[in-house]
Amino acid sequence: MMTERTRGLLLGLVASALWASVFVAARYATTTRGVDPVLTAALRFSVGAGVAVLYMAIAGRWRRMARATEEIGGLAALGAVGIFGMGLLVFVSASLTTSINGALILNANAIFIAVFALFVGERVPLVRFLGLFIGLAGCAIIVLGRTPPQELPVASNLLGSLAAVGGAICWAAYTVAGKRYVRRWGGVETSTITLVMGAVMLIAMALARRPNLSLQLPEALAVIYLGVFPTAIAMLMWYRALELVDASVLGPTQYIAPIGSTLLGWALLGEPVSASFVAGAIVIVAGVYLATRATPDEAADRAGGEPPSTEPPPGPSP
């Protein structure tokens, strides 16, 4: 029988696999097709928010989501950081540097998640930190390895990489701060509200820039894909996973995304795979294993029954 931990990690891995395509699709839309990065981000999250709201309507989960609006200020702040901030920086990064570099740096956010998790009272064992640093080292091997010439121009690797670091910090804060709302109102409800709030902010910023709103079929399909799969589906899965496992356990599953991003970048954008990628991928897998495996204390807790949680249970309070 599948445990809650296994189910949560599986959901996190599926979400991360879907996120592997984000930078490739984003770089295609912004660099190859010339769509404004802010507009692309706004369209992506607008589609994602629409799909999430549609799912809530079909699933009949409006009541809990309506009650969650009691904390609309906090949820709006969460959307500003995790959707508006992260989403904007992802597309800025994609317009400036390669999809491989951007994806690797952004998905190294697990190290920030582990640090932030300490401030909300999560236990982060030393072996988990070791796994996080090993995974980060694997990303560094790939990023710092020799990069062959690229088919698509790189405008500024430095600025693009810094934007990806900012996105990583935003996503880490979103993951850790969102745990409280997930346990109180539910992962799907929390994710839907933050998607809507962040999308509204991105739309306002995009319209203020007066972009060209005419999209050809290729970029329209790219935006629809981004909005449905790595946004609505992946983010709903991610916050559902947060109902089942701690943020510090879930975060390292994102190290799978850079591997997928690199393969897609090579296959679809002509971004070559080097020997450093192979070496780094091996190190990343080792880091994920150490960072997500149960410690002896956690295994003993599950075998003998975990002590009662001091945090609010999932769902609205009376």
* Contact criterion met (CB below 8 Å) for 227 and 5: no
Whole-angstrom distance, CA of residue 129 vs CA of residue 139: 15
311 lies in some domain: no
* Angle, vertex CA 180, rays to CA 179 and CA 181, nearest 5: 95
* Contact criterion met (CB below 8 Å) for 9 and 241: yes
Rg (Cα) of the chain, in Å, rounded?
A: 19
Whole-angstrom distance, CA of residue 87 vs CA of residue 79: 10
Structural domain boundaries enclosing 125: 4-304
124 lies in some domain: yes
**pLDDT number for residue 18:** 92
312 lies in some domain: no
* Closest CA relative to residue 314, chosen from 192, 190, 197: 190
**pLDDT number for residue 4:** 87
**pLDDT number for residue 299:** 58
24 lies in some domain: yes
198 lies in some domain: yes
Q: Which residues does 2 contact at the CB level (< 8 Å), separation at least 6?
A: 10
51 lies in some domain: yes
* Contact criterion met (CB below 8 Å) for 52 and 232: yes
Number of domains in the chain: 1
* Contact criterion met (CB below 8 Å) for 280 and 152: no
**pLDDT number for residue 297:** 63
100 lies in some domain: yes
Whole-angstrom distance, CA of residue 175 vs CA of residue 312: 17
**pLDDT number for residue 252:** 77
Low-confidence spans in the chain with pLDDT less than 70: 143, 145-148, 248, 292-318
